[in-house]
Amino acid sequence: MKVNVKRLREGARLPAYGSEYAAGADLYAAEGTAIPAGETRFVPTGFAMELPLGTVGLVYARSGLACKEDLAPANKVGVIDCDYRGEVMVALHNHGKQDRTVEAGERIAQLVIAPYYAVQFGETETLSSTVRGEGGFGSTGKN
């Protein structure tokens, strides 16, 4: 599958896979950005893209950045719709107690392209029964 990508800033790096079987392509900061402790900043990637119809771009944290530097996407998983054509931005939140700086060219998140279903929601008075029923939030696995 091909995804058309347009570079918007000189020196911006396009998404790239770190290994042959990586599910997520690394996203890179297009400019240095200071992120104070406990705050969120939008970090530009310097590119826009054209996702194929029926796909979505999911922006996830990079485990090393999240665990070692306390930086992760503020919205936990960013969603890029296939009709969006603006610059891809990553809202990074600093969960730590120290200010952090993301440098231009630094890997800041990972992008997974996935298919999705566009469904029609229909209101009903009843739903089918299951063994689980209405149990949620830790209800499974209990004896």
Output 68 or 123, whichever has higher pLDDT. 123
Q: Which of helix, strand or coil describes residue 53?
A: coil
**pLDDT over 70 (residue 143):** no
Any domain includes 131: no
Predicted confidence (pLDDT) per residue in 61-80, tens digit: 998 888 888 999 999 999 99
**Residue 67 lies inside a defined structural domain of this protein:** yes
Amino acid present at 77: V
* Higher pLDDT, residue 133 or 128: 128
pLDDT-based confidence at 141, cuts 50/70/90? low
CATH number at residue 21: 2.70.40.10
In-domain check, residue 62: yes
Q: Which of 111, 113, 104, 40 is nearest to 70 (CA)?
A: 40
DSSP class of residue 131?
Answer: S
Q: How many domains does the chain have?
A: 1
CB atoms within 10 A of CB 77: 11
pTM of the entire structure? 0.88
pLDDT, tens only, 94-105:
999 999 999 999
Residue 93 lies in a domain: yes
- Give a yes or no: residue 124 inside a domain: no
- Note down the domain range covering 14: 4-115
For residues 70 and 62, what is the distance between their CA atoms, to the nearest angstrom? 10
Q: What are the start-end ranges of the H helices in the chain?
A: 63-69
In a domain, 132, yes or no: no
Q: Is residue 125 part of a domain?
A: no
Q: Does 86 reside within a domain? A: yes
Strands (E), 1-143: 4-7, 16-17, 25-28, 33-35, 40-44, 47-50, 55-60, 71-73, 78-80, 89-94, 100-102, 107-115
- Contact between residue 108 and residue 71 where contact means Cβ atoms under 8 Å apart: yes
